[in-house]
Amino acid sequence: MSKELFDIDAFRKQPLPSEEEVIAKWQGGVEKPIVSVLCMTFNQKKYIEDAFRGFLIQKTDFVFEVIVHDDASTDGTSDIVREYAKRYPKIFKPVIQTENQYSQGEKPTLLSSAYAKGEYYALCEGDDFWIDEKKLQQQFECLKDNPKVGLCFHSAVTINCKTTRQLLGGKYGNKNSLINLKDIISKSHGQIMTASILCKKEVISEFSKFVKDRPWLTVGDIYIQFFGAKRGGALYLNKPMSIYRVFAVGSWNSALSEGKEFQHAKARVRSYNDLNIITDGQYKGCLNSENRKWIKRFLLNKMFSEDKKTLLLKQNAHYFNGFEYTLLHCVLKFKPMFITYKIVLKCQRILIRFFN
């Protein structure tokens, strides 16, 4: 590789394989896929063909299917989905909505999984994509060889769509390893990218029940990771095999408003309380620590109003001792303290990373 971690132009210049070439080494009938790829998209015409290319370059000895859930796109994404489904009918299984489901409180991952036939599910949103032809095969073999583990993930290259800067993310070590649930909860080495995940079917089933009982949840990835690692940890492969776009057009991180972020923060804290109950308090310290981090993150974001911040702090006062609560309250009221506190926290994070 050059100075850039990934050459997207070279990736796009590769000729697409025919359907016959993709399925050439498959063992078993196409009607019984082993892996279901769940691709969720909405208004991602600019990116979706990169995702499809990443699926089609996969070299596996097992059957896989691609369930593409298009949530009533209006920019032409749906036409591209239909085109690939026509060109690769044994691989692509389109689900094209006529009304946007996400805006009605539905979770695209669960909608697409309802059509899946595989024993394992690979995830990839329409603005992300895979870059390694052996990704699925390697992850499948890892899970097959470790029956007590429910989820496998790998590192990824992050591309900032505003600056084009590339960084390596989700690197949980210098070798393949088993990551415990505490590290998954705390994201000890950063975000685990959705497109890096392969999990067993039962993980999505457990996640589905959790979400349906909590319609107020705003995101799903972190809970898939939790249930995937709950029993035996998660397998990490030390190789960047996917791309994660930040600030892509139409993505979650490009569309957050104050109101959505506030609801997201409240839902995150509430859900972690529920996860604590589910695990009989086994991870209480870790889950509470993450909640404190999330609350502070919201409080220290200058784009949000003081009223929203004060409300969130009052609603979650029990996470802080008397001194810390008073300090945070003062930080919200006095700008010099606000700036100083942010600097102190940043220095603290740097020291923790250095000594770890």
User: What pLDDT was estimated at residue 331?
Assistant: 79
Segment 142-188, tens digit of pLDDT: 999 999 999 999 999 999 999 999 999 999 999 999 999 999 999 99
Residue 7 pLDDT greater than 60, yes or no: yes
- What is the CATH superfamily name and number for domain 8-254? Spore Coat Polysaccharide Biosynthesis Protein SpsA; Chain A (3.90.550.10)
Q: Report the C-alpha gap between 228 and 214 in whole angstroms.
A: 19
Nearest Cα to Cα of residue 266 among 313, 208, 212: 313
Say which residue the tokens 């989820």 belong to. Answer: 151
Please, where in the chain does CATH 3.90.550.10 lie?
8-254
Burial 271-292 (b: 16+ CB within 10 A, else e): bbeebbeebeeebeebbbbbbe
pTM: 0.90
Q: Report the C-alpha gap between 244 and 321 in whole angstroms.
A: 38
Residue 328: CB partners within 8 Å, gap ≥ 6?
296, 299, 313, 320
User: What pLDDT was estimated at residue 224?
Assistant: 97
The total number of residues written for the chain in this structure: 356
Nearest Cα to Cα of residue 217 among 274, 136, 142: 274
Instruction: Give the pair of three-digit tokens for residue 118.
Output: 């595989």
Pairing label, strands 177-179, 242-246: unpaired
Segment 93-147, tens digit of pLDDT: 999 999 999 999 899 999 999 999 999 999 999 999 999 999 999 999 999 999 9
Residue 342 pLDDT greater than 80, yes or no: no
User: What pLDDT was estimated at residue 251?
Assistant: 62
Pairing label, strands 64-70, 35-41: parallel
Q: Report the C-alpha gap between 84 and 68 in whole angstroms.
A: 10
Compute the Cα dihedral for 42, 45, 47, 51 and give only its sign: positive
Say which residue the tokens 């084009």 belong to. Answer: 164
